[in-house]
């Protein structure tokens, strides 16, 4: 479930659950109150404390009026005696319904209401204005309604007197206050229960997964990048899981690539150190021979000098290869792409290569099967390096038999395909997929006669791919190896 959907559900719960539960609680309390009042006060029917308050006042006034009427008729003298009125008023007040006010002539001789519910003398009706059963509705200072019953009588001394029975909502309905308290308690409980449900709903759906993400972050911080983080949730947090897992995989790949790169750097340094040690030892030995006079003839001295020069060139070649590798590894090769005529370029290449291989006792063949006007876009210097590195690698791993290297340039539709084959010892099927990898040396499979840095073919692959081409190889053990690479033709206007 989407987090947005969860929040929407939570919002609806906040709005509707308290309303529904509150309504149900009010109905229940209403029913309970009616049942309680009906039983306590002997009232039948629906006695809502909101819309039937007048009916209740009349009912309770009727209950007390008979007591007041009988009290006065039995002895009018005590009806005007304040001390007797105090006792009688306390009696009817204890029952929780009404209180008395007595007027003698124009004087109010007794007020049993207390300060909170007093009615002014001017508000009371005159003698004979109403019958004993008339209901006179007044509102007290507090705003509560009060029902007034008028009972006229004549005192023993012939004074016109009136006893007023006052029935108020505060005295007849203590249950009203109680029900409001019950309502407030019920509403607070409903809100509390709703909050607990929502907190549990949100906590269960969000917090455990956030803790899991936090634990995964701790694992990454400790360097443990191999523990996968999986999630089956199809929501925003599930998307966060996916992003976190993607980050973990990237960090893991980066860490592995960094470790691999560091290992390759160590291997490269070891290879270069080993490859430089041999020519340096030779240079040192021949130089000492010249100094010590071992080369005591012009021919010997000339031979020593040529050997020293050859070893120096070999060291220079290794240093140049290392420099180029560093540039290629950081994508800082300064390519100078230009349209090149295929026939002219490879003819010049083959002439230079042929002379060099002839001096090494290796037979070289060159064949061009493309049209004279065929063009490619390439960096001549870097493309020449590709050809030289491949042939140099073939020479390095040449077999004991007389060596043969062949360069073929073919038309392959929209591409020019270059094939460089040798008759060396070949490459085993296990090693063949790895020969273009950095620092890989298939010495055991090709029975190398010379050492090498192990970066020559990786440089070739990088240059060919930077030209928009591709490179691959085929080989048979004890038969030879063929290196292929293709470059797209150049057509003017396209």
Mind listing the pLDDT tens digit for each residue in 263-275? 767 766 776 776 7
Q: Which residue has the higher pLDDT, 476 or 249?
A: 476
Residue 427 tokens, joined? 């490459």
Measuring CA to CA, which residue among 201, 218, 155 is closest to residue 10?
A: 201
CA gap 123, 407 in Å, rounded = 130
Residue position matching structure tokens 């080369």: 295
- DSSP, collapsed to helix, strand or coil, labels residue 141 as coil
**376-395 average pLDDT score:** 92
What pLDDT score does 31 carry?
A: 66
Residue position matching structure tokens 């039948």: 44
Measuring CA to CA, which residue among 331, 322, 339 is closest to residue 439?
A: 322
The residue ranges of DSSP E strands in 274-398, in sequence order, are 338-341, 363-368, 375-378
Burial class (CB in 10 A: 0-12, 13-18, 19+), 440: middle
- pLDDT tens-digit series, residues 329-348: 666 667 899 999 999 999 99
**185-210 average pLDDT score:** 76
- Cα–Cα distances in angstroms (integers) from residue 229 to residues 103, 203, 207, 241, in the given order: 91, 21, 16, 7
CA 254 to chain centre: 22
Choice among 36-50, 124-138, 167-181, 303-317 with the minimum mean pLDDT: 36-50
pLDDT grade for 103, boundaries at 50, 70 and 90:
very high
Q: Which residue has the higher pLDDT, 164 or 399?
A: 164
Mean pLDDT of the chain: 80
- Cα–Cα distances in angstroms (integers) from residue 358 to residues 60, 306, 363, 390, in the given order: 135, 18, 6, 17
What pLDDT score does 51 carry?
A: 44
- pLDDT tens-digit series, residues 136-194: 888 777 667 788 999 999 999 999 999 999 887 665 555 556 666 777 787 778 777 87
> For residues 62-95, b (16+ Cβ closer than 10 Å) or e, as one string?
ebbbebbbebbeeebeebbbeeebeebbeebbee
């Amino acid at each position: 479930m989407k987090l947005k959907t969860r929040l929407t559900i939570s919002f609806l719960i906040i709005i509707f659950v308290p309303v529904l539960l509150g309504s149900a609680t009010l109905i229940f309390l209403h029913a309970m109150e009616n049942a309680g009042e009906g039983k306590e006060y002997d009232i039948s029917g629906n006695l809502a404390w909101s819309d039937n308050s007048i009916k209740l006042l009349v009912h309770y006034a009727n209950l007390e009026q008979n007591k007041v009427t009988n009290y006065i008729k039995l002895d009018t003298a005590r009806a005007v005696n304040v001390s007797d009125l105090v006792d009688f008023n306390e009696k009817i007040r204890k029952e929780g319904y009404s209180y008395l006010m007595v007027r003698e002539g124009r004087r109010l001789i007794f007020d049993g209401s207390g300060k909170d519910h007093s009615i002014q003398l001017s508000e009371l009706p005159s003698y004979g204005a109403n019958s004993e059963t008339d209901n006179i509705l007044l509102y007290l200072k507090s705003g509560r309604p009060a029902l007034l019953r008028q009972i006229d009588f004549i005192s023993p001394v012939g004074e016109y007197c009136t006893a007023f029975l006052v029935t108020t909502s505060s005295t007849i309905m203590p249950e009203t206050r109680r029900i409001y308290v019950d309502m407030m308690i019920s509403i607070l409980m409903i809100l509390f229960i709703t909050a607990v449900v929502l907190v549990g709903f949100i906590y269960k759906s969000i917090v455990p997964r956030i803790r899991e993400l936090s634990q995964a972050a701790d694992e990454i911080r400790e360097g443990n990048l191999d523990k996968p983080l999986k999630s089956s949730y199809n929501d925003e947090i599930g998307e966060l899981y996916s992003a976190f897992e993607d980050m973990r995989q990237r960090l893991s790949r980066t860490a592995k690539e960094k470790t691999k790169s560091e290992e390759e750097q160590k291997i490269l340094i070891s290879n270069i150190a080993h490859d430089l040690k041999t020519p340096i030892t030779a240079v040192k030995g021949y130089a000492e021979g010249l100094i010590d006079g071992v080369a005591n003839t012009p021919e010997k001295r000339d031979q020593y000098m040529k050997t020293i020069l050859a070893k120096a060139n070999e060291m220079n070649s290794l240093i140049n290869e290392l420099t180029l590798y560093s540039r290629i590894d950081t994508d800082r090769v300064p390519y100078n792409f230009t349209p090149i005529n295929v026939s002219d370029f490879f003819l010049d290449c083959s002439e230079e290569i042929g002379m060099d291989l002839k001096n090494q006792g290796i037979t070289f063949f060159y064949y061009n099967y493309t049209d004279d006007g065929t063009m490619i876009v390439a960096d001549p210097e870097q493309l020449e390096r590709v050809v030289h590195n491949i042939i140099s690698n073939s020479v390095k791993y040449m077999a004991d038999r007389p060596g043969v290297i062949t360069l073929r340039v073919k038309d392959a539709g929209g591409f020019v395909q270059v094939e460089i084959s040798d008759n060396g010892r070949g490459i085993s099927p296990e090693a063949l997929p790895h020969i273009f990898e950095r620092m890989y040396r298939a010495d055991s499979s090709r029975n190398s006669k010379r050492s090498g840095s192990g970066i020559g073919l990786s440089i070739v692959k990088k240059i060919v791919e930077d030209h928009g081409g591709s490179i691959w190889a085929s080989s048979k053990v004890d038969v030879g190896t063929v290196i292929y690479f293709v470059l797209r033709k150049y057509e003017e206007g396209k």
